[in-house]
């Protein structure tokens, strides 16, 4: 059996840590959460020399071991807890060749913990263009480590890095410098009090507010040794940082040379345009338009193919398998329900593709910088921009990202308004309704459908900002925090990173949604296929007597419609119809609204099941879009009109229909008060806006 070692991948944000992780692990990776907390945990397996395997943990980005956020606490707690199953045999510190001075701070701190530590200098392909040269021998000697020069873009240095990891036992654990000299008497007393503990480990436990309860079995009781006040400890931390930077400066004076004339240029010129107070917003708006137009134009063919394929598969199952409940469940429940979400994979994948490209290129940081100016006018922190923008993928990790906001009121406001941002779960609902009610014409080369989609995204973001302004007034948040963001260098996105991101996020979306949809599909089919009383059980006799002049498919469809209306599902839908009728919805749409409280994307698969149960469609009519287009009220008028469609789009733009998000809000606020306020408030706003829209347009 081959041995496995733990490798912790650590580094500042924007150093290319994810690129190194992807280069080492490829597709052998998974994303989860740390036990008990909602912080992303990426881990993967890498094969090394002599059959050795490395379990690689990609830790959250951190600038130092002086924690200021939950993400950074995760790094420290792991490095201080030798009993943790993920405690590293070796730490790999990823640095950016252009920001080596800043990146080395956390390196010197981890070296003080006496963990074998390798320094990776990433983005080496930029050294020549930036006029940077390094003396690796000097760096290795002064830093007491091994250095790997890596370019993930050109796939250079990865094998050397794997070789260094394999030989981790030969890596020196000697600290880079002696930081105890910042207050020698204090550290001498500390060493005397705890002779069996690492000195720097003790200092980290004493100087920080992090929860180190799980640090090890022989818990260190430091309560009697806290002889300094918080302000005094903070001053010592500052002295420590200064001392470390003095050491780093001295090392880089002899180990690094920079041609200043080459170090500036294109980046500064691009920043002047992309962060301009006018042109910056214009360019961002054009990029958004392009993205939404591309989502529609590029995804049409694969979506039509998937829709037709699932329709054919459902028909094939009905025709091939013996008639009965199992066949109906497979054809009308499972296949139809899953098809209702799989059809949107192309557009969701394209959305993640564009987001990944913007992040990889370094442009997204400029967007955050631009939006900070707007946020402050509405009472939000600049740090609120990150959750609001990341909410376009999913509100759950976006709400987790608010943990970087120190001011509780600013953080609470951000948590409450983030779900207004259009997430990928809303995309299936938007796309099917837009396709039904918005014509296919173009304006200035842009389709009406793409413009409508972008408008929905802007409406969601606008409502988030407006709600934040109102909440800021109600909660009387007068304390403002400062926002500092790092502007990474511009770079051409690495294809491998983009591809892995798209595959991973699309797969997560499909499988997470798929589990919910499969369960709900079975329940909905059972409720739609069974009912109480004679109205359901004697449907054939009732309809054959009533419509004696018709037969064949038309009669079968009438029987199916009658049974559905008098099924358990129909009874539920009919009971809520009076409340939603003013919005332009019938009882079938009502069932979709109720079902989608589990997850918004369930709405589409719910309608797919409702419209397919017992009905016989042929050819193109069997596709979901066409079945929805032919739905009519009792008076023969179409259900999906411009008025009802816009009403439905606006309802989903504002409604809080995601149980997972509510659970995370409860967890983050430690109270059911705020998620209940969020649920009631957003639902009320959605209902009122949808009502006004339908009554005005109709």
Once rounded to an integer, what is the mean pLDDT over residues 277-297? 82
Q: Does position 231 have pLDDT exceeding 90, yes or no?
A: no
Once rounded to an integer, what is the mean pLDDT over residues 353-366? 82
Q: Is 45 helix (H, G, I), strand (E, B) or coil?
A: strand
What's residue 104's pLDDT?
Answer: 92
Once rounded to an integer, what is the mean pLDDT over residues 360-367? 81
What's residue 32's pLDDT?
Answer: 46
Compute the Cα dihedral for 492, 493, 496, 497 and give only its sign.
positive
| CA separation for the pair 136, 433 (Å, rounded) | 59
| CA separation for the pair 138, 616 (Å, rounded) | 77
Compute the Cα dihedral for 87, 387, 341, 307 and give only its sign.
negative
Once rounded to an integer, what is the mean pLDDT over residues 623-646? 79
Once rounded to an integer, what is the mean pLDDT over residues 346-363? 81
Percent with pLDDT over 70 in the chain: 85
Q: Is 600 helix (H, G, I), strand (E, B) or coil?
A: coil
Query: Mind spelling out the 3-state secondary structure of 137-170?
Result: HHHHHHHCCEEEECECCCCECHHHHHHHHHCHHH
Name which residue leads in pLDDT, 184 or 484: 184
Query: pLDDT tens digits, residue range 549-608?
Result: 666 666 776 777 777 778 888 888 888 889 999 998 888 888 888 877 777 777 777 777
DSSP state of 98: G
Q: Residue 268: which residues within 8 A CB-CB, separation 6 or more?
A: none
What's residue 35's pLDDT?
Answer: 39
Question: Which residue ranges form the domains of the chain, and what is each CATH number?
Answer: 1-264 (3.40.50.300), 279-475 (no CATH), 518-697 (no CATH)
Q: What's the pTM value of the predicted model, to 2 decimals?
A: 0.64
Residue from 54, 66, 70, 65 nearest 8 by CA: 54
Residue 303: exposure state from Cβ atoms within 10 A (0-12, 13-18, ≥19):
buried
CB distance 28 to 56 below 8 Å: no
């Amino acid at each position: 059996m081959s041995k496995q070692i733990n490798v912790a991948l650590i580094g500042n944000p924007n150093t290319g840590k994810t690129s190194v992780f992807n280069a080492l692990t490829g597709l052998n990776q998974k994303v989860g959460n740390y036990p008990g907390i909602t912080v992303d945990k990426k881990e993967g397996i890498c094969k090394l020399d002599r059959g050795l395997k490395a379990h690689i943990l990609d830790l959250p980005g951190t600038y130092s071991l002086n924690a200021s956020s939950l993400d950074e606490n995760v790094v420290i707690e792991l490095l201080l807890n030798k009993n943790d199953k993920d405690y590293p045999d070796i730490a790999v510190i990823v640095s950016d060749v252009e920001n080596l001075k800043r990146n080395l701070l956390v390196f010197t701190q981890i070296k003080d913990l006496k963990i074998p530590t390798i320094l990776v200098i990433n983005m080496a392909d930029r050294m020549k263009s930036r006029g940077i040269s390094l003396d690796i021998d000097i760096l290795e000697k002064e830093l007491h480590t091994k250095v790997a020069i890596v370019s993930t873009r050109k796939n250079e240095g990865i094998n050397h890095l794997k070789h260094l990891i394999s030989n981790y036992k030969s890596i020196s654990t000697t600290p880079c410098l002696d930081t105890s000299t910042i207050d020698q008497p204090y550290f001498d007393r500390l060493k005397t009090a705890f002779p069996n503990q690492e000195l720097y480990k003790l200092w980290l436990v004493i100087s920080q507010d992090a929860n180190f309860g799980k640090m090890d079995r022989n818990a260190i009781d430091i309560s009697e040794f806290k002889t300094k006040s918080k302000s005094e400890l903070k001053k010592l931390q500052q002295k420590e940082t200064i001392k470390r930077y003095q050491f780093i400066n001295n090392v880089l004076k002899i180990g690094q040379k920079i041609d200043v004339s080459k170090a500036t240029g294109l980046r500064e010129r691009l920043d002047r345009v992309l962060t301009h107070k006018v042109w910056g917003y214009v360019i961002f708006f054009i990029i958004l338009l392009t993205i939404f137009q591309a989502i529609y134009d590029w995804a049409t063919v694969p979506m039509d193919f998937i829709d037709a394929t699932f329709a054919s598969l459902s028909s094939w199952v009905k025709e091939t398998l013996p008639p009965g409940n199992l066949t109906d469940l497979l054809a009308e429940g499972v296949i139809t329900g899953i098809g209702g979400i799989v059809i949107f994979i192309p557009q969701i994948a394209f959305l993640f593709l564009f987001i990944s490209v913007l992040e990889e290129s370094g442009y997204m940081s400029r967007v955050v910088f631009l939006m900070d100016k707007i946020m402050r006018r509405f009472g939000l922190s600049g740090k609120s921009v990150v959750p609001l923008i990341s909410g376009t993928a999913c509100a759950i990790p976006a709400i987790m990202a608010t943990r970087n906001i120190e001011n509780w009121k600013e953080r609470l406001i951000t948590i409450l308004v983030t779900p207004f941002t259009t997430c990928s779960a809303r995309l299936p609902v938007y796309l099917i309704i837009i396709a039904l009610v918005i014509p296919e014409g173009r304006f200035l080369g842009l389709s009406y459908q793409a413009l409508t989609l972008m408008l929905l995204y802007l409406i969601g973001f606008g409502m988030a900002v407006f709600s934040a302004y109102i909440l800021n007034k109600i909660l009387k948040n007068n304390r403002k925090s400062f926002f500092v963001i790092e502007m990474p260098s511009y770079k051409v996105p690495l294809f491998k990173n983009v591809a892995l991101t798209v595959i991973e996020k699309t797969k997560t979306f499909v499988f997470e949604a798929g589990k919910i949809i499969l369960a709900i599909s079975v329940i909905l089919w059972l409720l739609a296929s069974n009912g109480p009383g004679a109205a359901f059980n004697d449907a054939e006799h009732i309809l054959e007597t009533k419509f004696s002049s018709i037969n064949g498919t038309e009669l079968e469809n009438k029987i199916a419609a009658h049974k559905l209306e008098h099924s358990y599902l129909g009874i539920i839908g009919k009971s809520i119809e009076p409340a939603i009728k003013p919005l332009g919805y019938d009882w079938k749409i009502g069932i979709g609204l109720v079902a989608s409280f589990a997850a918004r994307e369930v709405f589409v698969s719910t309608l797919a099941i409702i419209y397919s149960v017992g009905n016989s469609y042929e050819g193109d009519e069997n596709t979901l879009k066409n079945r929805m287009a032919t739905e009519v009220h009792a008076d023969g008028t179409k259900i999906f009109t411009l008025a009802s469609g816009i009403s439905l789009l606006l309802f989903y733009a504002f409604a809080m229909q995601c149980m997972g998000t509510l659970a995370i809000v409860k967890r983050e606020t430690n109270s059911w008060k705020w998620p209940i306020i969020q649920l009631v408030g957003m639902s009320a706003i959605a209902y009122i806006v949808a009502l006004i829209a339908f009554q005005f347009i109709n």
